[in-house]
């Protein structure tokens, strides 16, 4: 279980970095994306990974009860990732909002990764 959660955490970290790059490119291009060709497939991929991560993280929390990691943080992270996976494509979304979501996601992912190291 720990290896699965660790791999999924790394995958979400990569998605988070990709989303920052996508947001940067969207602002440079300054045009609306093709929702069905660009946004929807990537958002669905991110959401599927986030849901798998949520299930694994929830099981891990219930079994090991790590310090400072709670179910609500996991749910908020999945929510932020889901929003970010769509909003990053649109140049009209404020950069500040993208950064706030991304930083919140990175914080929780780092926390989970650190606590996984302690419990394994």
Task: Single out the residue of 33, 36, 2, 21 nearest to residue 113, CA to CA.
Answer: 2
Per-block mean pLDDT, blocks of 10 residues, the chain (120 long): 92 98 95 95 97 97 93 97 97 96 97 85
What is the CA 47 to chain-centroid distance, rounded?
Answer: 8
Provide the pLDDT for residue 118. 78
Provide the pLDDT for residue 111. 96
In whole angstroms, give the CA distance from residue 104 to residue 30. 25
Helices H, strands E: what count in the chain? 4, 0
Residue with tokens 């419990």: 119
Q: Say which DSSP state 89 is in.
A: T
Considering the domain delimited by 2-119, tell me its CATH architecture: Up-down Bundle (1.20)
Task: Single out the residue of 96, 52, 114 nearest to residue 77, CA to CA.
Answer: 52
Q: What DSSP element (H or E) covers 49?
A: helix 40-64
Can you give the pTM of this predicted structure? Answer: 0.93
Instruction: Extract the tokens encoding 112.
Output: 């989970």
Return the ∠ at Cα 14 (arms to 113 and 40), rounded to 5°: 125
């Amino acid at each position: 279980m720990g290896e699965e959660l660790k791999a999924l955490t790394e995958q979400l970290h990569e998605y988070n970095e990709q989303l920052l790059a996508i947001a940067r490119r969207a602002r440079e291009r300054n045009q609306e994306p093709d929702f069905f060709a660009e946004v929807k497939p990537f958002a669905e991929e991110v959401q599927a990974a986030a849901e798998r991560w949520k299930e694994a993280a929830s099981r891990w929390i219930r079994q090991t009860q790590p310090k400072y990691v709670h179910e609500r943080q996991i749910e908020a992270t999945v929510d932020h990732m889901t929003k970010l996976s769509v909003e990053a494509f649109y140049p009209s979304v404020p950069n500040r909002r993208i950064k706030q979501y991304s930083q919140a996601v990175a914080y929780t992912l780092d926390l989970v990764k650190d606590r996984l190291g302690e419990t394994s």
